[in-house]
Every structure is written in structure tokens, then in C-alpha cells.
Structure 1
Amino acid sequence: MIRSVLSLTPKVGASQDLVQFFEDREIPQRALATPGCLGVEVQTLLPDGGEVLVTALWTSASSYRAWLESAGRLEDGALMRPLLAGGGEVVAAARLYDIGQRAARPD
């Protein structure tokens, strides 16, 4: 399994606007519709929201690449730039981590 980690720095005071952008554009739901996406989380740094972290769990790096190439993903990046500190550049691909070991509580 692969975890993608995307760190975004919102403009001061815009962290909730950035989270709302993900909700309005249904980005997590669209990612979940990509074969191989197992889960998505959009998180804000406590206490001030100075960073928005988007993580997702994928079955493989190729499933993440399919998401990168999906319809609307480039448009999402362009539309989110005004919410990012420094005007934002192109929203890059996330860093990918291979999950070597995992522990979870049984349901």
C-alpha cells in the first residue's frame, strides 16, 4: 500500500476556505472513485490552521498516478491557487510513502 501526503500552505486565515474548497469540489469523493483509492483525509494543523495536509491511502503508486491524470484534477489545482500563501505555484503531486508495517485495532 501507498500513502500520498500533500502539504498545502493556505493564505493567513484561509485554511477553512481551503478545506471548504475540497468539500465544494468533492475532491475526496472523486479520489475515492479512482480504482485503488482506499481513503482520503483533509486535515488542518492545530491550533492555527497554518497547514492543510491531504493524505490518501492507495493500493499502488499506479492507482495514485491514475488520480493525477483524472479529469478535473488539474483544474482543481489551478482553482485552489488563490487560496494558497504566496499565490501558490502549480499544485505539485503529493509525496508517496510505501507502507512497510501497519497496525490497527480490530473492529
Structure 2
Amino acid sequence: MGYKSDRLLERDIPQPPRYLFTTQEDLLDTLTSHRFAILKALAGAGPLDLGELARRVGRDLSEVQADAQRLSTIGLIDKAEGGMLHFPYDAIDIHLGWRAAA
């Protein structure tokens, strides 16, 4: 039996965007606490320039630039005109699941 979202996709019912990590290590390597803070600061804020984003997360501009570049490269945030950074959603839902090894 498929997942509920698979059945909805088959019926062309729009689904919220999702980003999947293949392992928990990939998740934790990608969404460090600093990068997660960037996503939280951008959620619902509209496009922000790098300086304002650095101010909102309370970090050095060059560090925020490096983390924002990584998030942009993997498609979690967008770069808008003029270098503005944008996360076009107002929320982030993270679902984790583990199963005991057989």
C-alpha cells in the first residue's frame, strides 16, 4: 500500500513542497543549528538581504553568507533579484521517524 501523499499525487491534488533526507546524518549535516536559524528567520519574512539576515540571526555576515549559499545550492532557499534571500513559506514542519533494526 502506498503512502497517502502518493495517492493524492495520482489524483493531481496539490501537495506542499517537501525535502527528503536519505539518512539522519544527511539531515544533521545539512540543517545545522545555524542553518536552521536562517530558515526560521526567513520563514514568512519575504526576501531579505544578507546583512539583515545576519542581524536577525545574530551572526557574522561571512558565516551567514556561507550557510545561505549551502542552503541555496541544495534548493532550500531561493536567491531573488539583487541577491536577496527568500524562503517562500511561512512554516517548517520536520517529521522524523526511526525503526528498530531487525
- Common fold: TM-score over 0.5: no
Q: Which has the higher contact order (CA 8 A, sep 6+)?
A: 1
Structure showing the higher helix proportion among its residues: 2
Structure showing the higher strand proportion among its residues: 1
TM-score (norm 1): 0.30
